[in-house]
Amino acid sequence: MPERAGRRRLLTTVLVSSLALVAIAAVPYTLSTFSVSLVTLVVAAGLLAVSVNMLAGELMLVSLGQAGIAAASAYGVGWAVGQGYPLAGQLLVALAATLVVSAVYAGMSLRTSGIYFLMATLALGMIVYGLAFRLSTVTGGENGLAGIAPPAPLRQSWQFYYWSVAVLVVVMVAWTVVQRSPFGLVLRGIRESESRMRSLGYNVAAFKFAAVMISGFVAGLAGLLTVWHSQFVSPSSAGFHRSALVVVMVILGGAGRTLGPVVGAALVVWTEQVVSTHFERWPTALGLLLVVVVLWAPGGFVGGLEAARSSLRLPAHSRTKG
Amino acid sequence: MIAVGEEAALTVDRLVKRFGGVVAVDDVSFTLRRGERMAVIGPNGAGKTTLFKLIAGELRATSGSTLIFGADVSSRSDARRARAGLSRTFQVSNLFGALTVADNVRLALLARRRNRWRPWPDASVRRRGEAVTQALASVALEHRAGVRVADLSHGEQRQLEIAMALLNEPRILLLDEPAAGLSEAERVVLRDLIRRLPPDLAVLLIEHDMSLALDLTQKVLCLHNGVPIAMGAPGEVRADPTVRTVYLGRAGAA
Ligand SMILES: Nc1ncnc2c1ncn2[C@@H]1O[C@H](COP(=O)(O)OP(=O)(O)OP(=O)(O)O)[C@@H](O)[C@H]1O
Ligand SMILES: [Mg+2]
């Protein structure tokens, strides 16, 4: 009996993922260029939300300044493009900027937890925002940096779309593997009790540092996708508004759920870009949606779907038993 | 049989801990030898848990030093002291509540292994699984492997608390009121568990239950308001007039 149920579950998984793959692949063939660009925006925002969800899910650390890391990476590329560096040089500068800023965030995570990490990252995001304004010789100040095109083979919107999806999928699959690893288990142990982990002899600080660095690296990737997508970066990309919106994505989609951040990104970007054309007060709409989710579906959209599915399945299960 | 060696496992030298105006631990010194079992007794607020925290490195001492097998660890973190062979249980169970019993045990086993950093799943799932099952069997929790620790009974949590401290392969074990809140039957199990600990393991035991403490140890330290008021063989400490007034006078008179 359990064997057959296992086989049925495997079949469902294979079926659902093939359908998802077909849908993902079909996007450039079926949608307008504008819509493809919009979906790419969802993917890039989703990747940033994934980076927040990594820490939120495994360590219960919510970063309210994640856009600061993404912006560091974007400014890195933008500056390197301005210097006339080749692609490899651009990527190296972006990586260096990402790692330096992430290391500051990671250092902060060692001294704080819970609400204090939230406030610390909020402040760090503000600092990045302020620096983007002040260091105008590097960042272009208020005007930002423009003309940051992706490498030639990714210039067409469909090319860039597939590339972005590939990055997102690789990151999500890799993180799912990490979650099942000893390293992932250690992070959850730290989430549950830092003092117990220390008394077992774990170097808690090193693990937290590593986790924030990994999350920062993913945020940097998201920054890269975003800046290549809009070909432009300005201080607002590091702003509090962006960071907060990313956290909203995670909560709406379902914190700690693998697909949560991407679903949340789709909801937020759709509201921001589509609803806003019909309804000027779209932030109000988003706020209402957030209130509804927090009050009635704390697991977010994905959590809600899971609950609905299990409540649908339960009666069927009891029928086979009775 | 427990063989108390000559070698000093744990040396505490003139430890003092002040919290503002309160002196929680006031000039405590003793030596625990390899394989020796010693009890720390004293009324509520005597400073027993604080003394443990100083030894484990969770708190920094105001003054004084702690040595583990001759090495001064006073300035080392709690994690480094743990890696030096010191293991402890907590007065209030401190477990990974949202994780399963098996994952709790797995974390205790991983602590000393290099592959705790590995970011992909263990290839030798079966081998690791066996180690976990074995560890669970040692505290009769193998049938609870998949249960969330928060859903365990109080007694089971206390047992897991000790099991995890032991999985760390310690040379010195600090037990903070392991019998707190246990039923009479569970106490008997616990007493056996402590008796069956490896003979060369040095054990420091905080216990309110006088008979349990005196039964399991060869040496007793009695604290009162942070001050060591008596130290010696169980019989001597029990007979000590100061101890009788501050401690036994209340609980042990019956
Ligand atoms: N973090 C702290 N800050 C301030 N005072 C503290 C702190 N921890 C303990 N104390 C005080 O130190 C004294 C000793 O407390 P401790 O917990 O060590 O006692 P104990 O002997 O373990 O008591 P019990 O038998 O109730 O567990 C108490 O007066 C307590 O209020
Ligand atoms: Mg205590």
Please list the alpha-helical segments (H only) found in A112-193. 115-134, 136-139, 157-179, 182-192
Query: Touching check for A97 and chain B: CB below 8 Å?
Result: no
Q: Is A250 exposed, middle or buried, given 0-12, 13-18 or 19+ CB atoms closer than 10 A?
A: buried
Residue B229 at interface with chain A, using a CB cutoff of 8 Å: no
For residue B159, the enclosing domain spans 97-169
Residues of chain A with C-beta less than 8 angstroms from the C-beta of B161: none
The CATH number of whichever domain residue A205 belongs to comes to: 1.10.3470
Whether A29 is in a domain gets the answer no
Does residue A239 lie in a domain region? Answer: yes
Q: Give the ligand at the shortest distance from the Cα of B251.
A: 1
Domain count, chain A: 1
- Please tell me whether residues B47 and B68 are part of one structural domain: yes
- Residue A205 included in any domain: yes
Decide if A201 and B83 are in contact by the 8 Å CB cutoff. yes
Q: Are residues B37 and B53 in the same domain?
A: yes
Per-residue model confidence (pLDDT) at position A217:
98
pLDDT class for B249, splitting at 50, 70, 90? low
Ligand 1, atom 5, lies closest to the CA of B19
B232 lines ligand 1 (CB under 6 A): no
In a domain, residue B128? The reply is yes
Distance from CA of B226 to the nearest CA of A (A): 24
> Are B13 and B75 contained in the same domain?
yes
- Residue B56: inside a domain: yes
Could you report the per-residue pLDDT of A103-147, keeping only the tens digit for each?
999 998 888 888 899 999 999 999 999 999 999 999 999 899 999
Number of CB pairs < 8 Å for A and B? 94
| Whether B111 and A201 lie within 8 Å, measured CB to CB | yes
Q: Are residues B142 and B197 in the same domain?
A: no
CA–CA gap between residue A66 and residue A121 (Å, rounded)? 7
Asked if A117 and A108 count as a contact pair (C-beta separation under 8 A), the reply is yes
Residue at a domain's end among B126, B154, B169? B169
The residue whose CA is least distant from atom 22 of ligand 1 is: B49
Given a cut of 70, whether residue B247 has pLDDT beyond it is no
Instruction: Looking at the structure, tell me whether residues B126 and B2 fall in a common domain.
Output: no
Residues B115 and B12 in one domain: no
Average pLDDT of chain B is: 88
Residues of B in contact with A59 (CB under 8 A): none
Collapsed DSSP state (helix, strand, coil) of residue B33:
strand
- How does pLDDT run across B3-41, given as a tens digit for each residue? 666 789 999 999 999 999 899 999 999 999 999 999 999
Residue A14 lies inside a defined structural domain of this protein:
no
Task: Give domain status of residue B4, yes or no.
Answer: yes
pLDDT score recorded for residue A73: 97
Q: Is A119 within a domain?
A: yes
Q: Residue B183: inside a domain, yes or no?
A: yes
Would you say residue A17 lies in a domain?
A: no
| Whether the CB of B24 sits within 6 Å of ligand 1 | yes
In this prediction, residue B128 carries a pLDDT of 65
Average pLDDT of every residue of chain A? 91
| B129 and B186 inside one domain | no
Q: Which two tokens stand for residue B240?
A: 């000590």
Say how far apart CA A214 and CA A101 lie, in whole Å: 12
Q: How many domains does chain B have?
A: 2
Q: pLDDT tens, position by position, for chain A (322 residues)?
A: 456 777 888 888 889 889 988 998 898 899 998 899 999 999 999 999 999 999 999 999 999 999 999 999 999 999 999 999 999 999 999 999 999 999 999 998 888 888 899 999 999 999 999 999 999 999 999 899 999 999 989 889 999 999 999 999 999 999 999 999 999 999 999 999 999 999 999 999 999 999 999 999 999 999 999 999 999 999 999 999 999 999 999 999 999 999 999 999 999 998 888 888 888 888 888 888 888 888 888 888 888 888 888 877 655 444 443 3
Q: Which of B169, B187, B215 is the last residue of a domain?
A: B169
Contact A256, A184 (CB under 8 A): no
Q: Report ipTM (2 d.p.).
A: 0.90
Within 8 A of B123 by CB-CB distance, chain A residues are none
Q: CATH number of the domain that B225 lies in?
A: 3.40.50.300
Inter-chain touch B120–A177, beta carbons under 8 Å: yes
Claim to verify: residue B12 and residue B79 sit in the same structural domain: yes
According to the model, what pLDDT value does residue A277 have?
A: 82
* The pair of three-digit structure tokens given for residue A263, joined into one six-digit string: 């679903």
A169 domain residue, yes or no: yes
Residues 6+ apart with CB under 8 A from A257: A53, A57, A299, A300, A302, A303, A306
Does B118 contact A200 at a Cβ distance shorter than 8 Å? no
pLDDT value at position A308? 84
- Nearest residue in B to A192, CA atom: B96
Residues 49..78 of B with a Cβ closer than 8 Å to A: which?
56, 58, 77-78
Q: Looking at the structure, do residues B178 and B157 belong to the same domain, yes or no?
A: no
Mark whether B121 and B157 lie in a shared domain: yes
Same domain, B213 and B249: yes
Instruction: Indicate whether A3 belongs to any domain.
Output: no
8 Å CB contact of A193 and B96:
yes
| Interior angle at CA B117, CA B115 and CA B121, nearest 5 | 70
Residue B90 lies in a domain: no
* CB-ligand 1 contact for B19 (6 Å cutoff): yes
